[in-house]
Amino acid sequence: MIRTIFAACSLSIACISSVFAQAKAPMKIKGNMAVIEGTVTRSYVKNVKLYKAYEGNYKELATAVLDEKGSYAFAVPDPKEGFYYVSDCMGGGKEISTRIYLKPGTSMILNLKDDNYEMITQSPENIALDKWQQFDTVITKPAYQFWSDRVGYTGVFPVIEAFTPKVAAFKKQLKTKNEKFNNLMDFVVDDDVEAAAMNFLATPRVKHPDSTTVFPAIYATIKQDKKYCDARILQLGDGARRIGMYASYCQRKDKVSYKDFGYGVNLFCNDSIKGAFIVFNLRSFRTFDDLQKTVVEPYSKYLVTDSMKAKVALHQKTLATLATGEKAIEFSFPDINGKNVSMKDLKGKVVLVDVWATWCGPCRGELPHLQKLEDELKDKNVAFISMSTDLEKDKEKWKNMIAEKQMGGIQLFTNGPNNVFSEYYKVNTIPRFLVFDQEGKIVSADAPRPSEPALKDLLLKTLNK
């Protein structure tokens, strides 16, 4: 049975007969093809995807639909040597990608199990890679599969402390006759450990460390002057994410504002890495003006590939409708009494919109500042609009909180984060504040928060135009 293929690049990846996937040894192949076959035992998984690493990201090559026995297989003609990834397509933030190494002639059985995998191969590179990945599971599993066990730092830090001294000696066991692979693995082993340590701090836990916590020694060595001076990290499918995570770690360590984009760019001494960092962070730019001022004008020289340039250009195009002076989108949402309020009802007023939700801690943290600002400008021609993105099931909770906190302004209910306003203005994190002028035009689609004096200054400046 030949499977339908779904290719996302110029390669013709065949999802070959699952008969091979039932074998107990990798199939023997001739020529420049590489073959991956296996079974999946993870619940609810219906498809398996094959990715390659491209500029620090996962680039999808093909999708295989599991047969009735849970088997799959891929045949890759003349693969470019390097890391590839087989993913279980589970989704919901729980997708697990297994890293493999392909070159022409590689053949393997890769069985994806509930929380690990089984690899059968004669490939020296994959034997070494598998040996390392099984060895470092003790730190990567709690670091990445946090949804299954959100163990706190008290359970993980001793494990990290005990594990890291063993790494240098273990690396010596991973040498092959392939110097290209050896050079890459020499970097990857160390970076895997650092990435796991950083990811543990960046994901949900039952208990996070505080200022009194004694950290494992590795945390003192992660930050280095001008890190990643070559581009090997971009040969990893999650390389761009690791770059971003490293920048966030350094910002917290140095107490640098997340808004200082130049700090992040200048952490790296390789132009390709700088470009990958810029592209990775594009989603954090919510207005055209901010993107131009913060990224395009000072740092476009670091967009060293056509792919990087194209991604920035696409984001520019996407944000063009959110630029200062563009007309606001029309909306209509019910207030707490069920009366619909629209943008046109507010014409002639400066409008401050607060997108929030009852469950959002940072949103609640801004509430006293918002109430203070509203009181200070109560005699001004400013409309304070609070748009709740709570779902219908939490509507009573929304009403109760308005009463309990004595929230002023115009309170609107949007019935979820996928409302027309949030979609149009690309509200992917909350709280989010937006300012519109008296003519219903955008002043800022990503305004300062009420806790920042800059918001009051912006409102007064808009009033005086």
Q: Record the pTM.
A: 0.76
Contact 167, 193 (CB under 8 A): yes
Q: φ, ψ for residue 53 (rounded to 5)?
A: -80, 130
Report the alpha-carbon distance of residue 186 to residue 441 in Å, rounded: 54
* CATH number among 3.40.50.150, 3.60.20.10, 2.60.40.420, 3.40.30.10, domain 332-463: 3.40.30.10
What are 390-433's pLDDT values in tens digits?
999 999 999 999 999 999 999 999 999 999 999 999 898 999 99
Residue 91 sits at φ, ψ, to 5 deg, of: 75, -170
Band the pLDDT of 286: cuts 50, 70, 90: confident
Kindly tell me the sign of the dihedral angle through the C-alpha atoms of 43, 47, 48, 51.
Answer: negative
Q: Reply yes or no on whether the pLDDT at 31 is more than 80.
A: no
Return the pLDDT at 4. 26
**Closest alpha carbon to 79 in 9, 180, 169, 177:** 9
Domain boundaries, given as residue ranges, for the chain: 1-122, 180-319, 332-463
258 or 102: which carries more pLDDT confidence?
Answer: 102
Q: Is 232's pLDDT higher than 80? A: yes
Mean pLDDT of the chain: 89
Question: For residue 36, is pLDDT > 70?
Answer: yes
- The pLDDT of 242-264, averaged and rounded, is 94
Q: Which residues contact 400 (CB under 8 A, 6 or more apart)?
A: none
Model pLDDT for residues 411-420, shown as the tens digit of each residue: 999 999 999 9
pLDDT tens per residue across span 437-459: 999 999 999 999 999 999 999 99
| pLDDT for the residue 7 | 31
Q: Which two tokens stand for residue 148?
A: 């299954």
Q: Which pLDDT score is estimated for 456?
A: 96
- Residue 6 has a pLDDT of 28
Tell me whether residue 331 is exposed, middle or buried, using C-beta atoms within 10 angstroms of its C-beta: 0 to 12, 13 to 18, 19 or more. Answer: buried
Which whole-number Å values give the CA distances from 163 to 157, 194, 327, 358, in the listed order? 10, 12, 57, 41
- pLDDT score of 373 more than 80: yes
Answer whether residue 49 shows pLDDT above 50.
Answer: yes
pLDDT at 454: 96
Residue 28: predicted pLDDT? 66
pLDDT for res 258: 83
Which helix (H) or strand (E) is 432 found in, with range?
strand 432-436
In this predicted structure, the answer to whether residue 23 has a pLDDT above a threshold of 60 is: no
CATH of region 1-122: 2.60.40.10
pLDDT, one tens digit per residue, over 146-194 is 655 667 788 889 999 999 999 999 999 999 999 999 999 999 999 999 9
Question: What's the CA gap between 417 and 158, in Å, rounded?
Answer: 40
pLDDT value at residue 279? 96
